[in-house]
Amino acid sequence: MKYRLQFKQRKLHFLIAMLMGFSLVSCKEEDPEYLKSIEQWHKDRINYLKSEEGFINLAGLYWLEEGSNSFGADSANAVVFPNKANANMGNLILKDSTVYLVSNAAITINGEPAADTTLVYNDSTDVEMRYKSLLWFVIKRGKNIGIRLRDFDNPSLAAFDSIDYYPTNPNLKLKATWRPYDPPKSADFQNMVGMTINYPVYGAFNFEIDGKEYSLEPIGEPEPEGYFVMFYDKTSGHSTYGSGRYLYVPVPDQNGKTIVDFNKAFNPPCAFTEFATCLFPHKENRLPIFIKAGEKFSGH
Beta strand ranges found along the chain (DSSP E): 58-63, 67-72, 79-80, 90-95, 98-103, 108-109, 112-113, 117-122, 125-126, 129-131, 134-141, 144-151, 173-190, 196-209, 212-216, 218-223, 226-231, 245-249, 257-261
Outline where 100-238 has alpha helix (H).
156-159
For residues 122 and 140, give the distance between their C-alpha atoms in angstroms, rounded to a whole number. 10
The reported pTM is: 0.87
pLDDT at 23 over 90: no
Domains of the chain: 58-159 (2.60.200.20), 162-285 (no CATH)
pLDDT digits (tens, 9 = 90+) for 135-153: 999 999 989 999 999 999 9
For the segment 117-138, the average pLDDT, to the nearest whole number, is 96
What pLDDT does 298 receive? 84
Residue closest to 272 by CA, chosen among 44, 39, 41, 50: 50
Average pLDDT over residues 36-40: 98
pLDDT > 50? residue 14: no
Which residues on adjacent β-strands are paired with residue 71? 79, 90
100 touches 117 (CB < 8 A): yes
With beta carbons less than 8 A apart as the criterion, state whether 256 and 177 touch: yes
Euclidean distance between CA atoms 130 and 84, whole angstroms = 12
DSSP characters for 28-86? PPP-HHHHHHHHHHHHHHHHHHHSTTSSTTEEEEEEPPSEEEEEESSTTSSEE--TTS-
Confidence band for 299, pLDDT divided at 50, 70 and 90: confident
Averaged pLDDT score across all residues of the chain: 92
Contact assessment for residue 89 and residue 105, using Cβ atoms and an 8 Å cutoff: yes
pLDDT, one tens digit per residue, over 72-100 is 999 999 999 999 999 999 999 999 999 99
Distance CA 71, CA 176 (A): 49
